[in-house]
Structure 1
Amino acid sequence: MVFNYDASDPLAVITAAPPSETPEQKAAREEREAESRRISNQIDEELRLHKADLKKHEQMVKILLLGQSESGKSTTLKNFRMQFAAENWAKERASWRTVIQLNLVRSVNAILDAVKHPDADDGSKIPLTEKHQLLAIRLSPLRRVEEDLKRLLGAAANPVEVAVPSSPTRTVSPRPSAEFYVRSWEWQSFVEASQNRSENSHPRTRHEGANSIDISEIIARCSEDIRELWEDDIIQDMVKRRGLRLEDSATFFLNASERIAARDYHPGDDDVLRARLLCRNIVPLSWTSNLASDGKTLTWKLYDVGGSRTQRQAWLPYFEQVTAIIFLAPISCFDERLAEDPRVNRLEDSFILWKAICSSQLLKSTTMIIFLNKIDLLAKKIANGVMVRQFLPSYADRPNETKAVVKYLKTKFRDTARNYSPEPRTCHIYATTVVDTHETAQILVSVRDGIMREHLKKATLM
């Protein structure tokens, strides 16, 4: 039996058609061969796409900012913007004026609420005078200003009722007013458009409601009274005795009230870093950098995914293909409770969150970084005589000193990562005060370089 085939093709003898092949057999064979080619081509295409996808992800770094509400995630994101997206940061800085004004006005109104009820928690009377009542009257326009500022930002009320626990060793005072939030991280465009309408319209034709020019004018007229209220010794004593829980940045803005209330006020970097505005949406940041090794461009994507308990359910979809997680644990809150659940100590909540993150199989190869944040506030509390072991029994008889507390917490978080991670990995821990721009800039450069090294190492292994 003789087979006809191309002798130059070493596989032709295998693929050659049998000499006695019938037309039906030939058709069936050709159909099988066509199906084999289709499958082969499909496999080749899938391999090509997979290789392209791997190559794409090799050139992209995805970072998540995680942690409870008020842990400093938004401030860290702003630091990243300042450090690695400076051009966009400069453009958006002016839009933060409205947020900063709102932070100042909310703090003043919180104090005025306390003036209305001059009773200390111990039942004693706080000796307010006619001067304080007069200041409250003169500052009453700020009630309307607060609502107008919220409307300018597109903010929505988010009432949070916080009970004051009866235990003397685990206390936290309630916030003086409901938390608020904006519906979209694009609120800056909304503010800028509103400001343009205000500046380009005649005063007589301006619509009723929020107006940035009128708001700034009212705040400017109240500037002296705000300063007098805040600098009053009786008011300072009342804030302390009532345990009035203002925002962390309230003291900064109240001390700078004359500058912020000026009609020509323009926010500085420190002002924007301390400005608080809760956003219910995921807040992204992107920038690019060049790889010195081969001249290729590396794309960085950073996400602040929110920290309140109602937002944590949105974290999971972002865990896929994460290069690194920066977890913020506010260690100054060892004596505070969650606004969402006053039964839970805030530091304990950070421990629980960190354990869950370390245990996730989806994150087993992810670089883990912890910022033990707000060490400046921790130092102030310790200097004021607050005993850490009273709120954190496991601290035992260790020295009630900032360095000792930070060292203990570093060990506790590192041990959790070692004991609960699915695979062995290094955990990078930094003690931070993210409102300190100079110190944080140095840390972020170190973090970026470390993430890049880990990313390139994994990309090489792939």
Structure 2
Amino acid sequence: MGKATPKYESADVDPLAVLAAPPRDETPQQRAERERAEAEAKRVSDSIDEQIRVEKAARSKRRAPVKVLLLGQSESGKSTIVKNFQIAYAQNAWAEQRASWRSVVLLNLVRSVNIILDQLARELAISRTTITPAPPASLRLHASSSATSLSDSESDVRSQSSPLRFGERHKLLALRLGPLRRVQADLERRLCAPPDDDDGGPGPATPFVEMEAAGAAPGRRRRTHEFFVRSRAGWKGALGWAMTRARTRAGRRGGGNAEDEADEAMEVILGCKEDVVALWKDATVRAMLARHGMEFEDAPGFFLDDVDRIVSRSYAPSDADVVRARLRTLGVQEYPFPCTGPQAGREWVMYDVGGARSCRSAWYPYFMDVNAIIFLAPISVFDERLEEDPTMNRLEDTYLLWKAVVSSKLLQKVQLILFLNKCDILQRKLERGVSIKRYIPTYGDRENDVPTATKYFRKQFRDMMKKHSTVQRPFYSYLTTAIDTKTTTQTLATVREILMRDHLEKADLLQPL
């Protein structure tokens, strides 16, 4: 038989009071200590209650945030626009994290060199078999971009050119620059979580660019990879997480710190500095890149012209370096921006969503309560193919996205702002003689220059809004070069004023003119 359950002599006795009662044999000293502990506990509890009350009152007074969604296909410049917003309106957070971009800039530089070395290795292998390298069927490849050109005739010109001549010097360069492959892996590891981590931190490299193997059968492709991060907190969270992880790893080794680990890569790159410059300036290498359409200057994360400045122990990234740096992110990134001046107390929240086709299903939940959309349309991509669908022109894909946005009933009350982005790349392409009419027959006999082209593209987007929009709304469009921080900041200030005014009018706080 079990023990009998104790019974209280009176139903009025509170069991909790019995448990909380002081011990019967408590000494005066113990009682004093107990009373001091209880008083401290009550003070802490009252402090927490007061803090909750203050925060609740502040939330009740806080005005609803202005929510802005950035839309556009992959590599349209959304993340670069966010960086410009941060430079203009979140200077403290930007200054704190800018130094963390040093590893990303070095990764961009080293990755560009390794892409060149990969192509050089293929050329050297072909030259050993005395076979003239055939141009890729996909023709134009932006080395760190997913875009390929739509032109087929350019390969005919390249195929008729004389064979490239590689010598012992190129073999020696490839050998001396070999350590940069380990540097790239180390830099990616520093920013990247282990494969079994699933905490929203950075992720491993993923297939990114496909290029036709030289001399291979049509349709047979070689896949390269681009490093990416998965961060719920955007670039700041990704890099902050990486620095914390670097400190942890340094501590486990006993001695050393994160800065020492970061400098290891720089020391190796310093030893290869002269060879990197020699590789990039080599006439035969540049001819090889031109033959295969590998236009690094037009690609994000291009730093090969800045080797002398970047490869230095004292190097610290500038604002311009961070804006140009390429760090691919997956998922939806949220960026809060507190307002200043007359709108103090109101917050802006920007959402940067992935532009790849596989990521676009994540857009729709943000359509429900967004106040404005900044749509990034890269007009320099008129001669490029979409990564996910090589039969689709990238500009045509942007047109389809724009039509879907302006015709969505969920977005009837949302202010739309169009950025015709990458005007700098458009100018370089036209200066090289790339013909818009060749890829866009409706361009007709217009002049093949930037003013005429931008006017044409702007009209196309305006006509699509007029035709497909479910409601009448103003058409705001701006020509932008996102890496031009000064000009972009001025544009963003104008856009910010437009969006704030529209928000106030809808809240009946300001009467329209």
TM class, shorter-length:
0.7 to 0.9
Cα pair distance change 1:183/1:236, threshold 3 Å: same
Q: Which runs of 5+ in 2 are unaligned?
A: 1-56, 124-132, 136-157, 193-202, 214-220
State the 1:175 CA deviation: 9.1
Query: Shift of the alpha carbon at 1:56?
Result: 8.2
Q: Does 1:138 align with 2:138?
A: no
Bigger shift: residues 111-120 or 419-428:
111-120
* Structure 2 counterpart of 1:125, from 127, 150, 163: 163
The match for 1:225 among 275, 281, 285 is: 275
The answer to whether residue 97 in structure 2 is matched with residue 66 in structure 1 is: no
Kindly indicate whether the alpha-carbon contact (under 8 Å) linking 2:415 and 2:499 is maintained by their aligned counterparts in 1. yes
Partners in 2 of 1:240 and 1:331 — Cα distance?
Answer: 22
Q: How far 1:430 sits from its partner (Å)?
A: 0.3
Question: 1:57, 1:345 → 2: CA distance?
Answer: 45
1:178 aligns with 2:183: no
Separation (CA, whole Å) in 2 of partners of 1:360 and 1:175:
39
1:215 aligns with 2:265: yes
Q: How is 1:60-459 mapped onto 2 (pairs within 5 angstroms)?
A: 60-118=65-123, 119-121=133-135, 122-123=158-159, 125-154=163-192, 155-160=203-208, 162=210, 177-184=224-231, 185=234, 186-197=237-248, 211-246=261-296, 248-249=298-299, 252-290=302-340, 292=342, 297-459=345-507
CA separation of 1:82 and 1:161: change in aligned 2, threshold 3 A: closer
Q: Alpha-carbon deviation of 1:297? A: 2.1
Q: Is the 8 A contact 1:291 1:298 kept in 2?
A: no
Distance 2:307 2:222 in 1: 21
Distance (Å, rounded) in 1 between the aligned partners of 2:320 and 2:291:
29
Deviation at 1:229, TM superposition (A): 0.8
Deviations 1:117-168 (A, max 9, x none): 2235145532122111111100001111111111111141211463669xxx
CA contact 1:65–1:328 (8 Å) conserved in 2: yes
C-alpha contact (below 8 Å) 2:408/2:470 kept by paired residues: yes
Which string of whole-angstrom CA distances, capped at 9 and with x for unpartnered residues, describes residues 235-280 of structure 1? Answer: 1121111112547346840010122221221111111001111111
| C-alpha distance in structure 1 between counterparts of 2:65 and 2:301, whole Å | 40
CA distance in 1, matches of 2:282, 2:212: 27
User: Are residues 160 and 191 of structure 1, via their aligned partners in 2, closer, same or farther at CA, if it must alter by over 3 Å?
Assistant: closer
Between Structure 1 and Structure 2, how many residues are aligned? 396
Tell me if structure 2 keeps the 8 A contact 1:162–1:341. no
What letter matches 2:175 in structure 1? I
Q: 1:198·1:213 contact (CA, 8 Å) conserved in 2?
A: no
Q: Name the % identity.
A: 44
Kept in 1: contact 2:335–2:349 (CA 8 A): yes
**Unpaired segments of 5 or more residues in structure 1?**
1-51, 166-173
Q: Partners of 1:277 and 1:240 in 2: how far apart?
A: 25
Q: Which amino acid aligns with 2:427?
A: A
Alpha-carbon separation, structure 2, partners of 1:61 and 1:200: 42
More moved, 445-454 vs 151-160: 151-160
Amino acid at match of 1:280: L
What do the CA deviations read for 1:409-440 (whole angstroms, capped 9, x no partner)?
10110111111111100121001101001100
In the alignment, the residues of structure 1 paired with residue 275 and residue 432 of structure 2 have an alpha-carbon distance, to the nearest angstrom, of 29
| Alpha carbons 1:194, 1:212 under 8 Å: kept | no
Quote the offset at 1:191 in angstroms: 2.4
**Distance across 1 between alignment mates of 2:300 and 2:329:** 19
Following superposition, the deviation at residue 205 of structure 1 comes to: 6.5
Residue-by-residue CA offset, 1:90-128 (whole Å, 9 max, x unaligned): 001011111111110110001111111223514553212
CA distance in 1, matches of 2:396, 2:97: 36
**Cα distance in 2 for residues equivalent to 1:382 and 1:373:** 15
Alpha-carbon distance in structure 1 between the residues aligned to 2:301 and 2:207? 23
Alpha carbons 2:419, 2:478 under 8 Å: kept: yes
Query: How far apart are residue 443 of structure 1 and its match?
Result: 0.2
Cα RMSD of the aligned pairs, angstroms, is 2.6
- On the 8 A contact 1:335/1:345 being kept in 2, the answer is yes
After superposition, the C-alpha distances for 1:163-201 in whole angstroms (9 at most, x for unaligned) are 669xxxxxxxx9972233112232211222244357768
State the SS of the aligned residue for 1:192.
Answer: helix
TM-score, normalization by structure 1: 0.80
The answer (yes or no) to whether the contact 1:371–1:431 under 8 Å persists in 2 is: yes
Q: Which moved more, 1:250-259 or 1:260-269?
A: 250-259
- Judged with a 3 Å threshold, the aligned counterparts in structure 2 of structure 1 residues 175 and 376 are, in CA distance, closer, same or farther, namely farther
Partner AA of 1:416 in structure 2: M
* Structure 2 Cα separation of the partners of residues 383 and 175 of structure 1: 31
> Are the equivalent residues in 2 in contact too, given 1:152–1:211 (CA < 8 A)?
no
Residue pair 2:207, 2:225 contacting (<8 A) in 1 also: yes
Which amino acid letter does the alignment assign opposite residue 97 of structure 2?
Answer: E
SS of residue in 1 equivalent to 2:428: helix
> Shift of residue 283 of structure 1?
1.4
Q: Is the 8 A contact 1:372 1:429 kept in 2?
A: yes
Question: Match for 2:238: what amino acid?
Answer: W
Query: What amino acid maps onto 1:255 in structure 2?
Result: D
Q: CA deviation at 1:214?
A: 1.7
Give deviations 1:395-418, integer Å, cap 9, x for gaps: 111111111010001011011111
